[in-house]
Structure 1
């Protein structure tokens, strides 16, 4: 197994996603995070395991196509992003809402 630098792994995970669909996935012990587009599945797994002290059983990633945006006569794109759906081992949880 490849050794990862813990300082680099912390930068891969940007933020957790709290949407209606993501909260429905919480019942299946799945968590959704925004990650850097260059992050790979093994890196994401290592980052989540080191940040939250949990055992990850699966990582699914989503990299949707960029949408065009127009400002006046200039056409550009929305920023590229990547989401990771993390499946945890039975019994492990991540506390996304502390003290609520």
Structure 2
């Protein structure tokens, strides 16, 4: 029994020595913020399908409004985080529209073109997304 009591005393001494340690504050580094940006950019490949460029949307780019084709399950917050992470811009507003499927006739057969979801983003003044780099 004396052996067990000695072990208990040793364990209590070890616990007493370990307790007075103070927690050190962790400094935020650029590497950590870069990792967070990469996490949001990773969302972009799951949410964004492609930029939606038509005459109408091209004219809206002058007003800092950009349109993207997104996945059916994408939410406004996911779209916002994806754009901010991928293009390093600040998004002020996101509007989402479900575009309905269209029927098409192929000879005697009737089919349909799949519908999709598109998101229109309003960016903060001064921010820009370059779609046509090198063109």
Could you tell me the TM-score, scaled by structure 2's length? 0.65
Name which structure has the greater RCO, CA cutoff 8 Å, separation 6+.
1
Q: 1:45 aligns with which of 66, 75, 80?
A: 80
Answer 1 or 2: which has greater helix percent.
2
Residues 1:59 and 2:94 aligned together: yes
Q: Which residue of 1 aligns with 2:58?
A: 23
User: Contact 1:15 / 1:33 at 8 angstroms: preserved in 2?
Assistant: yes
Q: Which residue of 1 aligns with 2:122?
A: 87
Would you identify which runs of 4 or more consecutive aligned residues in structure 1 move more than 4 Å?
Answer: none
The separation in 2 between residues aligned to 1:60 and 1:19, in whole angstroms, is 17
Could you tell me the TM-score, scaled by structure 1's length? 0.85
Q: Based on CA coordinates, which of the two structures has the bigger radius of gyration?
A: 2
Partner SS, residue 73 of structure 2: coil
Q: What are the ranges of 5 or more consecutive residues in structure 1 without an aligned counterpart?
A: none
Kindly state the Cα deviation for residue 73 of structure 1 after the two structures are TM-superposed: 4.3
Residues 1:68 and 2:122 aligned together: no
Answer 1 or 2: which has greater strand percent.
1
**What's the RMSD between the two structures over aligned residues?**
1.8
Q: What are the ranges of 5 or more consecutive residues in structure 2 without an aligned counterpart?
A: 1-35
The separation in 2 between residues aligned to 1:92 and 1:8, in whole angstroms, is 21
User: Contact 1:70 / 1:76 at 8 angstroms: preserved in 2?
Assistant: yes
How many residue pairs were aligned? 97
